[in-house]
């Protein structure tokens, strides 16, 4: 069945990454559109039906079977958590009813940031402030475009209220994006300090020390000379509004948390004499929304769940390309109708609507400063995750 767009000129918000671009014309998707947006809005509508052990059943039968499995479970794991705020709230309620625990796809990278935030705190900024004020932007340990393809275009490669794009300086410590992703001649002249991942803890520690005016007795760190590190520190101290950017998912190495702490404490040191902010980018599959919703509902941050479990509920509304986990435990899948079950047929599969495509919804942007509305842009009759979770809960 072909997707049915319900408006001839729909401008939609794209949930394919944490930036949540809200200017996507879904009827004008082309090679100039962000590839992640194209992939998201081009998902095929399939005539997915609920299943029990691979056999088609009614929605009521599938819900009853899921409730039966959970009623026998002592401690289920509700994993994936790829959904919007409303979907997560319903899953949270189901977790409370079943004595379950929660684990997001991005638990490891979420935990890196949380550990630093909880131990030392940090001073962060927003995408709007970056666009309107940032004059020196340092991306550390990541090619931001691979995660957030339009970050440069929407926030740096454009004029802000108090600064023009030509007056910004973009610096990469580690990997740089393809120059084709940058339109401004000024930003094309970005400065790249090559740095291996294993050297980032030491390099960021050295930069932190130099910003604090502490002398270093070393010729350099890895491939970065002391002279270049000193120049970078001077640029940060002279900036009117410096921004240090990182993506926790890319900082997957020994002492990654120390690297993030070095970045955030460099921001603290800079703010003693000028203005600076940290910016944790990335964000996918509703991880920011899940974390914030869990915090206000429970009083705790969303932590990695490592306890023993006797059943698994896998939730994935957004990303059909992600593999369904293989497990020997009873498996319930509440997910995108395009999910494939190559390795294991779930005990129960209930296709649910994808927020921003099949139903409306809300998500926190990656900088946590705003919540954006996701519009329903096509009709396929799928039930929302929240409705399915509530129906299962009602039977427990």
- Residues 296, 261, single domain; the answer is no
- Residues 306, 276, single domain; the answer is no
- State pLDDT tens for residues 18-73: 999 999 998 888 767 789 999 999 998 877 899 999 999 999 999 999 999 999 99
- Residues 146, 54, single domain; the answer is no
Domain holding 352, by residue range, is: 11-106+286-394
- Residues 201, 115, single domain; the answer is yes
**pLDDT band at residue 1 using 50, 70 and 90 as cut-offs:** very low
**Average pLDDT, rounded, for the chain:** 92
In a domain? residue 312:
yes
Q: At 55, which CATH number?
A: 3.40.50.740
How much is the pTM? 0.92
Strand, coil or helix: 355? strand
In a domain? residue 23:
yes
- Residues 301, 381, single domain; the answer is yes
- Residues 255, 141, single domain; the answer is yes
Q: Looking at 252, 280, 308, which one is the last position of a domain?
A: 280
Beta strand spans in 165-219 (E) = 169-173, 191-193
For the chain, give the percent of residues with pLDDT over 70: 96
- State how many domains the chain has: 2
- Residues 297, 386, single domain; the answer is yes
Distance CA 182, CA 36 (A): 17
In a domain? residue 213:
yes
- Residues 209, 262, single domain; the answer is yes
- State pLDDT tens for residues 222-267: 999 999 999 999 999 999 999 999 999 999 999 999 999 999 999 9
Distance CA 84, CA 293 (A): 10
In a domain? residue 1:
no
- State pLDDT tens for residues 75-107: 999 999 999 999 999 999 999 999 999 999 999
Name the one residue in this structure whose structure tokens are 């270049």.
228
- Residues 126, 227, single domain; the answer is yes
- Residues 74, 130, single domain; the answer is no
In a domain? residue 51:
yes
Distance CA 235, CA 24 (A): 36
Strand, coil or helix: 308? coil
């Amino acid at each position: 069945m072909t997707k049915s767009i319900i408006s001839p000129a729909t401008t939609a918000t794209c949930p394919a990454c944490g930036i949540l671009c809200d200017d996507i014309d879904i009827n004008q998707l082309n090679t100039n559109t962000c590839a992640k947006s194209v992939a998201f809005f081009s998902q095929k509508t399939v005539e997915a039906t609920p299943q029990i052990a691979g056999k088609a059943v009614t929605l009521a039968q599938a819900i009853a079977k899921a409730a039966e499995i959970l009623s026998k479970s002592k401690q289920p794991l509700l994993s994936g958590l790829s959904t919007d705020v409303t979907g997560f709230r319903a899953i949270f309620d189901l977790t409370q009813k079943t004595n379950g625990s929660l684990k997001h796809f991005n638990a490891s990278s979420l935990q890196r940031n949380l550990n630093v935030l909880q131990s030392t705190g940090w001073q962060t900024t927003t995408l709007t402030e970056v666009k309107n004020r940032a004059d020196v932007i340092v991306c550390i340990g990541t090619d931001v475009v691979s995660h957030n393809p339009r970050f440069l275009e929407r926030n740096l490669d454009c004029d802000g209220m108090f600064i023009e794009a030509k007056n910004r300086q973009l610096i990469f410590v580690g990997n740089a994006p393809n120059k084709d992703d940058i339109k401004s001649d000024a930003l094309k002249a970005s400065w790249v300090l090559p740095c291996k991942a294993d050297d980032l803890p030491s390099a960021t520690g050295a930069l932190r020390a130099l910003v604090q005016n502490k002398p270093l007795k070393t010729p350099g760190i890895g491939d970065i000379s002391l002279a270049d590190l000193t120049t970078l520190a001077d640029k940060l101290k002279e900036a009117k509004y410096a921004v240090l950017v990182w993506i926790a998912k890319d900082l997957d190495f020994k002492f990654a948390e120390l690297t993030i702490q070095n970045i955030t404490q460099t921001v603290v040191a800079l703010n003693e004499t000028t203005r600076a902010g940290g910016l944790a980018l990335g964000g996918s599959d509703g991880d920011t929304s899940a974390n914030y919703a869990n915090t206000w509902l429970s009083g705790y941050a969303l932590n990695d769940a490592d306890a023993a479990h006797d059943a698994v509920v896998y939730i994935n509304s957004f990303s059909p390309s992600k593999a369904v986990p293989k497990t020997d435990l009873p498996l319930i899948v509440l997910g995108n109708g395009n999910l494939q079950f190559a390795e294991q047929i779930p005990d129960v599969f209930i296709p649910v609507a994808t927020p921003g495509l099949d139903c409306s919804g809300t998500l926190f942007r990656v900088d946590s400063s705003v919540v954006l509305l996701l519009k329903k842009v096509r009709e396929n009759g799928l039930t929302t995750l929240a409705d399915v979770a509530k129906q299962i809960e009602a039977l427990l």
